[in-house]
Amino acid sequence: MQTSFKLSLFTSFFIASLPALSQTAASDTVGTVKVKTLARAAATAPSHSEIGAHATPMVDGLQPPGIMIGHSGKWMVGYDYMFESMDGNLDGTRKVSEDQILQTFFAAPTDMKMQMHMFMAMYSVSNDLSLMVTAPYLVKSMNHITQDGEQFEEKTSGFGDVELRAHYRLFTQANHRHQVLLNGGANLPTGSINQRQNGLRLEYPMQLGSGTFSLVPGVTYLGRSDDGWGWGADFIPTIRVGTNDNDYRLGNQYRLNAWVIRQLSDQLEVSLRADGKRTENIKGADPELDQADEQTKDPNLQAGTRLDLLGGVSFHPAILAGQKITLEAGAPVYQSLDGPQLKTTFVGRLNWQLHF
């Protein structure tokens, strides 16, 4: 697979589109609208992304941090820290002990920790169109026990797959109470699929990337009321394309989010979000991985369905003009895994954004 050529071609196309689109942005006329915004310094324009008398008033502060529609000609830079903890194993919804797993496999994973440091940049071509790039840095660790009673830990870290994404506002009411956004993007195969420890290739969950391009289409609905309530939902699948250099393709993922947000003051919101996802099994197999060794090396034991419930709080104090900080934490309320597979026990997130 000529990854470097495809990556260069796609990136060049993305960057080349900016000047032409910027000409459109220059022709936008932005009216003055009185809105409660994250960035109180930007008092003359409509909104921010997965963020009128005349221009459309935007709903900053009443949607999750991943929704990006911004002010024409403006930038956003951000940092996202995400943490996920797994402990114990499931087969379907049934708990499976390590002793049971070791009757089939030589080794069994006991727990895993995953951290992601996501760096983001967004440019708003117009009030309706924003372009975004994200680059994740991943840190993973997984503990195991073998049939012989030996315990060992695997670790890996590095940059994952870069994502390029566009958000376009397809529909909005004059009072901005209801909006529909279209999302379109692609994940680039920049993360490694050849991570090793002690000379041996690590299993699928310990790799940093997919090794293939992925399409990331989607649609988002945003709603709000005049008394400080916001709500919405989005559906964003990840569609894998092709086969990577190690003869496999990660399974597609289908993600559905729904949320409600309450604005308590000009500087504070609280939220409740339900995050559901379905992941398919891997197509093909890495020839270096022995499927009898452990479950994490079997491409047919990687699928599952999960629903997380998360509570959050967002701050955008006046002394930090243009900035927003969001904290979110929760746990799965439902998991059904094509197992045995490690089950998730906790998810947390810290998001920071600066608009200028």
Which CATH number fits the domain that encloses residue 149?
2.40.160.40
Closest CA to 296 of 199, 207, 193: 207
Side chain identity at residue 21, one-letter code: L
Domain of 176? Answer: 3-355
Q: Report which DSSP code applies to 50.
A: B
DSSP, collapsed to helix, strand or coil, labels residue 3 as helix
For the chain, 356 residues long, give each residue's pLDDT as a single digit of tens. Answer: 444 444 444 444 443 443 333 343 333 433 333 333 333 333 333 333 332 322 333 335 578 877 767 789 999 999 999 999 999 999 999 999 999 999 999 999 999 999 999 999 999 999 899 999 999 999 999 999 999 999 999 999 999 999 999 999 999 987 778 999 999 999 999 999 999 999 999 999 999 999 999 999 999 999 999 899 999 999 999 999 999 999 999 999 999 999 999 999 989 999 999 999 999 999 999 999 999 999 999 999 999 999 999 999 999 888 988 899 999 999 999 999 999 999 999 999 999 999 99
Residue 223 tokens, joined: 């709603």
Does residue 108 contact residue 89 with C-beta atoms inside 8 Å? Answer: yes
Residue labelled with tokens 């998001």: 351
User: What total number of domains does the chain contain?
Assistant: 1
DSSP letters along 9-35, please? HHHHHHHHHHHHHHHHHHT--------
pTM, to two decimals: 0.82
Residue ranges with strand state E in the chain = 75-92, 94-96, 107-124, 129-146, 151-159, 163-172, 178-187, 196-197, 200-201, 213-215, 218-224, 229-241, 248-249, 253-265, 268-279, 283-284, 304-315, 323-355
CB 326 within 8 A of CB 348: no
